Amino acid sequence: MAHAYTPGLKVTRRTTVRKRRLLPVKGKVLVEPGRQVQASTIVAQAELAGPVHPVNVVNWLGVRPAEIRSYMLVKEGDEVEEGQAIAETRPLLRWFKTVCRSPAVGRIENVSEVTGQVMVRGEAQKLNLRAYICGTVVEVMPQEGVVVETQAALVQGIFGLGGECFGRLNVLANSHAAVIGPEALDSSCANCIIVVGSLATASLIGAARQFGALGVVAGGMPAEDLKKILGYEVGVAVTGAEPIGITIVLTEGFGSIPMARRTFELLSSLEGLNASACGATQIRAGVRRPEVIVPLEGPMARAVEREGAEVADGLQVGDKVRIIREPYFGVIGQVAELVAGPVKIETEATVRVLGVRTERGDVVQVPRANVEIIKA
């Protein structure tokens, strides 16, 4: 049988998820291999150098740069408090004394006889690296981080915004095609990752933040609302670091697009369980998908035990796919036919194609490069 290999969009009830949790600089790992961790568990710590505060001492005191050390009250390496005197003049009459004070808590890093400036290094900032998912630490990289593994349900999206979050999964929509407004949200959304159906608008995202929701999962979002949320046009690059106060995962794309029925049914079946979500998206080299991960623990793990782990394979007849190019962008269906030889398409290019049977029952022919597998 002919196979086509194409990017996979995973929507699966059970798979092995491994997450490498790495510090940006060398630090200290706080857990050992075999340790069971929660999403909020701090697995490693590091200290980031504090900000530098330049102080123009000679300008403040009215002296020459070469004379600066004779007016200093502290030396390089000394710890200082905010507002502490670090340099002063010594006039005959003390009423005419001028004092230069530290602008922040920190340490005197440098006293320059060339520029006449003193550099105050602010307090080091402690960085706590959390596990992100509930699972088992299966590998430790000393001073760098860990690998956490778990059996989980996994839903990958098309596009996302915001960093990582973890909380209870709360399904607000009653169907995959439902459209709910901000009025449907209330205090029950606090500390939850909410599933809102086919559409997330800027007003709904605003309400979600107001009620303390941690993440929003939706089929789509109007492109103009994306700009309202960010305040600028998003580029085709990497997302995930936007300071918007919430994580957004779009499972289908832009516009009002019903969430894939299988995706919605999977999320609905997991309602009430603890989940982790990340909106980080990278579309070019090193593709990264936004995701929702629901670790399977206790009775839930036993319920799916017989399903087994998924196995990567080529695209075959009967596989579920999503079309990712116009004119059928966002359409979900099953592979009805894998055409063996190359075919000339409307653009006059000659490519390998396949037939996709849509949910309405009709079969459309598209280039194989224009689909991605939905693993479920």
pLDDT in tens, 176-209: 999 999 999 999 999 999 999 999 999 999 999 9
Write out the residue limits of the CATH 2.30.30 domain(s) in the chain: 320-375
Q: Where in the chain is the domain with CATH 3.50.30?
A: 11-17+150-306
pLDDT score of 274: 96
Q: Which segments of the chain belong to CATH 2.40.50?
A: 52-122
Give residue 310's pLDDT: 43
| Average pLDDT over the chain, rounded to an integer | 88
Classify domain 11-17+150-306 at the CATH class level. Answer: alpha beta
Q: What is the pLDDT of residues 272-298, one digit of tens each?
A: 999 999 999 987 656 788 999 999 975
CATH, range 320-375:
2.30.30
Place of tokens 């778990």: 150
Domain spanning 52-122, CATH architecture: Beta Barrel (2.40)
> Per-residue pLDDT for 228 more than 70?
yes
pLDDT of residue 312: 38
